[in-house]
Structure 1
Amino acid sequence: MKRNVLLFGLIIGVILCANMVIMVNMMYSDTDFKGNDVVGYAAMIILFSLIFFGVKNHRDKQLGGHISFGNAFKMGSLIALVGSTLYVVVWLFYYYLFVPDFIDVYTDHVLTTCSPEDLQAKTVQMANFKEMYKNPLFVILITYSEVLPIGLVVALVSALLLKRKPKGSLA
């Protein structure tokens, strides 16, 4: 199980990190950059679908084709946690070492793309966010919240789809 958790978690994490670096660089290099949250989250769902294949691989090759919902969810959650943790660690290094002005750039981007009637509220919201982002613990929590919930939902769905009791088992 450990091998599959690490392998699939690291694959997910590396691709998540590459995507993050590309998107941040696009935002820095293109002042008209308009990210698409729907596309971004859809890509994460597709990427986290590797959890399904990690759990299925473990079920079929190590467990003789049988796995409980609990064990499948546990394994899927661990894969999501490994991938998300790699994402968080890379973001911390990338943010503090290479793009320490990211919040300023991001704030400018948000404020230039919001509607005039939302500008005042968005300005206050971004000022609060910028203040909270000075705390590394907040940076870690907000970064995990970007990806881990998606991974956990995919782990849940994967566990529901992959659970399989041995024939003749009542449990």
Structure 2
Amino acid sequence: MARLILTYGLISGLIIIAGIIATLPLAHSPGHSGGVLLGYLIMLIALSSILMGVRQHRDRVLGGAIGFWPAFGIGLAIAAVASVAYVVAWEGYLALTHYRFMGEYVEQTLAAKRAAGVTGAAYAKLAAELEAMKVAYADPVQRLPMTFLEIFPVGLLVALASAALLRNPKFLPSKPAG
């Protein structure tokens, strides 16, 4: 079972990493506001490997029947592996780009707010909040859990849905040999 968890977790992690890297130029383009939504859509699609992994275990190892809790446990483990892969890849990306991401994010956010006409106390408050976030993000003890928590809740929801669906042996039944 550990092999199945690692395999599907790493598949999911690699899909997420490839998707995020492919869309980074789009996220940094002026006027693009759907970056977060696109990122979570990529995560959701990639984390569908949880459903495939639990289904494979149900059909090949357990003969086509699995309870909610065992299915949820497998799904959660796959989500954890995918989340750790995401964190490791993101840290690699940050290192390759000399940790410029958060500084650029703050600059772009402040520029967009200025362009939208935000000034005075509201702008100063936002600038202070973003600067505090930038300082916190520079600390790996804070950044690593933040990055993990970007993806893991999505995996948790997919694991719950997968367990609920796959406990029914009629949902995506295995194909008879022959």
Residues 72 and 163 in structure 1, CA contact (< 8 A), matched pair in contact too: yes
Decide whether aligned partners of structure 1 residues 79 and 55 sit closer, same or farther in structure 2, where only a CA change above 3 A counts: same
Change (3 A) 1:38 1:100: closer
Conservation of the 8 A alpha-carbon contact between 1:72 and 1:158: yes
Long gaps (5+) in structure 1:
166-171
8 Å contact kept, 1:14–1:86: yes
Residue in 2 that maps onto 1:160: 164
Residue by residue over 1:96-121, the C-alpha shift from the partner in whole angstroms, topping out at 9 and shown as x without a partner, is: 23242111111111112234335333
In 2, the alpha carbon distance for the partners of 1:104 and 1:5 equals 36
Shift of 1:25: 4.2
Deviation larger for 55-64 or 110-119: 110-119
Q: Which moved more, 1:62-71 or 1:32-41?
A: 32-41
Which piece of structure 1 moves more, 133-142 or 111-120? 111-120
CA contact (8 A) 2:13 2:46 kept: no
CA distance in 2, matches of 1:98, 1:159: 39
Distance in 1, Cα, partners of 2:86 & 2:98: 16
**Structure 1 residues 43-52 or 108-117, which shifts more?**
108-117
Name whichever of 153-162 and 12-21 sits farther off: 12-21
User: Which residue is equivalent to 2:17?
Assistant: 17
Alignment of 1:35-54 (within 5 A): 35-36=33-34, 37-54=36-53
2:62 paired residue number: 63
Cα displacement (A) at 1:162: 0.9
SS at match of 2:138: coil
Give CA-to-partner distance per residue, 1:126-162, whole Å, 9 cap, x none: 1010110121111101101111110111101111111
Letter in 1 for 2:77: L
The residue matched to 1:116 in structure 2 has which SS?
coil
Match of 1:2 in 2: 2
- Post-superposition Cα deviations, 1:57-93, rounded to whole Å, max 9, x if no partner, equal 1101111111111110110011111111011011112
How many equivalent residue pairs?
A: 163
Cα distance in 2 for partners of 1:8, 1:139 equals 25
Structure 1 segments, 4+ long, off by >4 Å, are: 25-28
Indicate if the aligned counterparts of 1:67 and 1:163 stay in contact, CA closer than 8 A: yes
Partner of 1:110: 109
Q: Does the CA-based 8 Å contact 1:51-1:155 persist in structure 2?
A: yes
Confirm or deny: 8 A CA contact 1:81 1:148 kept in the other structure.
Answer: yes
Equivalent of 1:149, from 126, 132, 153? Answer: 153
* Structure 2 unaligned residues grouped into runs of 5+: 170-178
Mapped to 2, the partners of 1:19 and 1:119 lie a distance apart of 33
Question: Structure 1 residues 68, 85: CA separation in 2 closer, same or farther (over 3 Å shift)?
Answer: same
